[in-house]
Structure 1
Amino acid sequence: MEQDLTFKQTVSHKESDNEEKGEKGDLAWWQLSLIGIGSVIGAGFFLGTGLSIKTAGPAILINYMIAGITAYFVFSAIAEMTVADPQPGSFRTYAKKAYGRSMGFLSGWIYWLAGIFIMSSEAVALGTFTQYWLPHVPLWMFTVGYVVAAFAINLLGVSNFGKIESLFGIIKLSTLVIFIFFGLLILFHMIAPQPEPLNVSNVVNPLFPKGFSGMWSALIFVFFSFGGIEVMGVASSELKNKHEVPKAGTAMMISLVGVYILSIFFILYFVSWTKINESESPFVTSLANFNIPFIGSIFNVIIISAAFSTMVGALFSVTNILISLAKDQDAPKTFAHKSKRGTPFKALFLTGAALAISLIMSFILPGKLYEYITTAAGVMLILNWIIILSTQVKLRKQMKAGTFKMFGSPYTSYLGILFILITVAGGFMHATQRMGVIISLGLVAVIAITYWLFVKKRDASM
């Protein structure tokens, strides 16, 4: 029987176990916020936003509002369940409680596989960006070097991981805040503007130059900018006070949505959206007329820090999800083992082996095909949000009174699911995204078939 304990019974046992063991995490709420920011703001925002702007024009600002609202709904769902019943397996454990073992298996492996491909793409991007200064050094050397560094940070333990990832979060957030502050100085004529006259009305005139279809097809790119917020649920098990999850996540979401929208507003204020292209960071394009020395190198450093911290955060979260899967026997039990210092060597080894295979694929497969696969990884993360929101709806009635409650639930969960389905459907309007969506659905099907062929049969025979 898949659900032999009720949600309330599990909460009760979990709380008593924690009291007996005296388990307490190492992270403060503000560190969790910065870990979330460090894991979410990746190279894709600093570099890939150009494609989104090119596809939708100024309407991209509306897309970021929609994506930000949806991401907040997803976070709120995770926060509500985490405060009621803190679990190391986070969203996949709640999916199992709500819908049975099959959904926990599906959610966990979707997240793990998506994380592998995302880390691989970030590692290759890191190598490519570093070649900006050292073009004669082979790409694979840089890529391997960054992967080794990411594993080394995760081997340092949660406390050190939290400090390092918080530092990267501060760097990325500070960069965007400085850019916004510079924009405000220009907007209010406190420093000399660029040579050509600037008019704030040009930001949204016209608002829909590519029509509604352009805005819709770009929506999936924008959703990718919020991919990775699940790390808040995974890392929340390391909080000193589990009831501070809502505070940490709210601070993270307000920061993310604020700096995303204001940054893009000032990009569009500094330069016409028609001059932005996908081959160059829109930040570099928008600042080009200000003659800032070494602007290319400055943003290259920022993009490298963004990509690296995203990879480090993804490695932390997928490794912990693998441990959770192993504890539930949805993965070989040996991968749940930790050393005396709490280091999950075996889980890290499996994740590293899968990452190595993915990196080899990135070098031997045609570039377009690997692009489809990495796009599919982003789509899989978004599809996992549907599981998170539907899980919250199912478990809502069983949660303890007086704990954090998701605003407007269940209607906000339903609205979030609707936004996600609309976004994924919009992916079919763009060739690369269309293939990514198809591949992601195929990979989800493979995971589901694996469950029924191996886990379900094994359990039936026991």
Structure 2
Amino acid sequence: MTTDMLTTDKTSLQRGLKSRHIRFIALGSAIGTGLFYGSSESIKAAGPAVLLAYLIGGAAVFLVLRSLGEMAVSRPCAGSFGEYATRHLGPLPGFLTGWTYALEMVFVCLADITALGVYMGFWFPDVPRWIWLLAAVGVIGAMNLFSVKVFGELEFWLSLAKVVAIIAMILAGLAIIVFGSHGGASVSNLWSNGGFLPHGIQGVVMSLAVVMFAFGGTEIIGVTAGEAQDPEKTIPSAVNSIPIRIVLFYVLTLAVIMSLDPWQHIGSGGSPFVEIFAGLGVSSAAAVLNVVVIVAALSAINSDIFAAGRIMYGMAERGQAPAAMRRLSRNGVPWLTVVIMIGALLCGVLLNYLMPERIFLVIASIATFATVWVWLMILLSQVSARRRMTPQEVATLKYPAPFWPYGQIAAIVFMAGVVALLAFSDSTRIALVVGAVWLALMTGAYYLCMRRRPPEAETLEAPKGTEPDREPVHQY
């Protein structure tokens, strides 16, 4: 691909995403490795009671998305929550939020591509994992250089395939349970193997670190606002439907999986969905599900690269990232950010070559830290903005977040608790260390680079062709 094909003077993203695109991009990012592979870790921690953890976590994420939706409908933009944090919390929190979200997308992509290599081992156990990852990086890189409309359509069909497969798996599992085609399959497996709470409430609490990783990526709804055709309709529609669908998919699928076989039999040598059906002797179903989980991983990586590109584009617009990140391809894609993400995935290929057995949980815990940090910033941004609004301004909000202010306070406390949980396990404690070092380095970078810029360089840049922003500070 030549340079003139990539570069262009365009600096405005295209509004090519429809409501169905946004819904399924969010599904594509959230229904992936966290469900198809990472769920085995959360099941080990909590047993069947992991279902409670997914319900609690899903409720907290719903409050985050509603808070984000309130801001995104009022002020749709490419930078999304990075801009909202800058506007309502200050330049430093906005800088940290944007770059930490980019870090989140990097580590989520690394987790997804690591899982993809594990899935391929189902068919080719003797082939080194890194070979499959290298091939996947090439395919995904090409997919992300399409126009946003083509990307949205492609992601729609990839995510739809996952949703259909999950529903089919639920129905097949229920049929096995109801008709007794496998002697060990029974709903009683949810409470007869050590009880519903085999590790007590402590197990449910400890599983939350992995559970929240599974919900990571749903905030991409806010990122898509800058390219949505009708944000006032598409964002509320997506926000209202996504959490319910995800919770139903997670809770129903895991309930079926743990009913088909005792939860103690679920391992981490592959996708628990594939392992269960293979163990039941349904080899054809296991093979089909393995195809599905591979597609799911590719879809999730695809969505995450899209999100990272758009958040860094928005940061470049605000002067918080190199100006080169605003340059778009002729298809309207911020191509430099795609190249950066592909470089990060190549690092993941190297890590899988060097330490294939330990990499997933370490990467997932770091991604959890970054994800929860971003969710905290979304909640704090919305709370800060609301507190400075008059009752009249609140009344004019087109999509107000519910349960104000107690729901937001509860969600903030919950997210802070999830971060604290990372300290209680040897395998996840590294996430706190990496997170603290990252925030310290980014704070240093802000004071070294951003504070040297002239004051006008830190103001939010108005879109080309519009009047400068003269709204009061509390307006979105």
- Please classify the TM superposition score into its range, dividing by the shorter chain length: 0.7 to 0.9
Q: Which amino acid aligns with 1:420?
A: M
Q: CA deviation at 1:260?
A: 0.7
Structure 1 match to 2:153: 163
SS at structure 1 position matched to 2:427: helix
Residue deviations 1:90-133 (CA, integer Å, cap 9, x gap): 11111111012111110000011221122233223323433443
Structure 2 match to 1:221: 210
Q: CA deviation at 1:278?
A: 2.5
Distance in 1 of aligned mates of 2:304 and 2:364: 14
Distance in 1 of aligned mates of 2:362 and 2:184: 40
Distance in 1 of aligned mates of 2:55 and 2:365: 22
Q: Which amino acid aligns with 1:445?
A: A
Distance in 2 of aligned mates of 1:378 and 1:49: 14
Deviates more, 1:246-255 or 1:126-135: 126-135
1:416 aligns with 2:406: no
The change in CA–CA distance for 1:182 and 1:197 in structure 2 (over 3 A counts) is closer
1:196 aligns with 2:196: no
Paired residues of 1:195 and 1:289 also in contact (CA < 8 A):
no
Distance in 1 of aligned mates of 2:370 and 2:282: 39
Structure 2 match to 1:7: none
1:447 aligns with 2:442: yes
Structure 1 match to 2:313: 323
**Count, aligned residues:** 439
Q: CA deviation at 1:361?
A: 4.3
SS at structure 2 position matched to 1:225: helix
Structure 1 match to 2:273: 283
Q: Which amino acid aligns with 2:416?
A: L
Paired residues of 1:336 and 1:347 also in contact (CA < 8 A):
no
Deviates more, 1:76-85 or 1:243-252: 243-252
How high is the TM-score relative to the length of structure 2?
0.85
Paired residues of 1:232 and 1:249 also in contact (CA < 8 A):
yes
The change in CA–CA distance for 1:179 and 1:353 in structure 2 (over 3 A counts) is closer
1:74 aligns with 2:31: no
Paired residues of 1:116 and 1:358 also in contact (CA < 8 A):
no
Residue deviations 1:276-299 (CA, integer Å, cap 9, x gap): 223343323443564323343222
1:87 aligns with 2:55: no
Distance in 1 of aligned mates of 2:202 and 2:68: 32
Q: CA deviation at 1:371?
A: 4.8
SS at structure 2 position matched to 1:294: helix
Deviates more, 1:279-288 or 1:236-245: 279-288
Task: Show structure 1 runs of 5+ residues with no match.
Answer: 1-21
5 Å matches for 1:138-149?
Answer: 138-149=128-139
1:101 maps to which of 91, 100, 121: 91
Q: CA deviation at 1:362?
A: 4.4
1:385 aligns with 2:380: no
1:154 aligns with 2:144: yes
The change in CA–CA distance for 1:456 and 1:302 in structure 2 (over 3 A counts) is same
Distance in 1 of aligned mates of 2:166 and 2:378: 29
Q: CA deviation at 1:332?
A: 1.2
5 Å matches for 1:338-349?
Answer: 338-349=328-339
Q: CA deviation at 1:427?
A: 2.3
Q: CA deviation at 1:163?
A: 0.9
> Percent identical across equivalent pairs?
29
Distance in 1 of aligned mates of 2:156 and 2:99: 27
Distance in 2 of aligned mates of 1:53 and 1:366: 22
Distance in 1 of aligned mates of 2:188 and 2:417: 29
Task: Show structure 2 runs of 5+ residues with no match.
Answer: 1-11, 458-476
The change in CA–CA distance for 1:123 and 1:276 in structure 2 (over 3 A counts) is closer
Q: Which amino acid aligns with 2:30?
A: V
Structure 1 match to 2:44: 54
1:231 maps to which of 220, 230, 245: 220
Distance in 1 of aligned mates of 2:335 and 2:418: 38
Structure 2 match to 1:181: 171
Residue deviations 1:168-212 (CA, integer Å, cap 9, x gap): 21111112211222344355x3x34422362x3441452221122
5 Å matches for 1:301-316?
Answer: 301-316=291-306
Which structure: greater helix fraction? 1
Q: Which amino acid aligns with 2:225?
A: S
SS at structure 2 position matched to 1:342: coil
Paired residues of 2:82 and 2:94 also in contact (CA < 8 A):
yes
SS at structure 2 position matched to 1:431: coil
Structure 2 match to 1:273: 263
Deviates more, 1:238-247 or 1:442-451: 442-451
Structure 2 match to 1:10: none
Deviates more, 1:307-316 or 1:415-424: 415-424
Distance in 1 of aligned mates of 2:420 and 2:408: 18
Distance in 2 of aligned mates of 1:109 and 1:121: 18
Distance in 1 of aligned mates of 2:264 and 2:280: 18
Structure 2 match to 1:112: 102
How high is the TM-score relative to the length of structure 1?
0.88
Q: Which amino acid aligns with 2:267?
A: N
Residue deviations 1:383-421 (CA, integer Å, cap 9, x gap): 211001111111124466141011112221111111112
The change in CA–CA distance for 1:437 and 1:48 in structure 2 (over 3 A counts) is same
Q: Which amino acid aligns with 2:440?
A: A
SS at structure 2 position matched to 1:88: coil
SS at structure 2 position matched to 1:156: coil
Distance in 1 of aligned mates of 2:371 and 2:298: 19
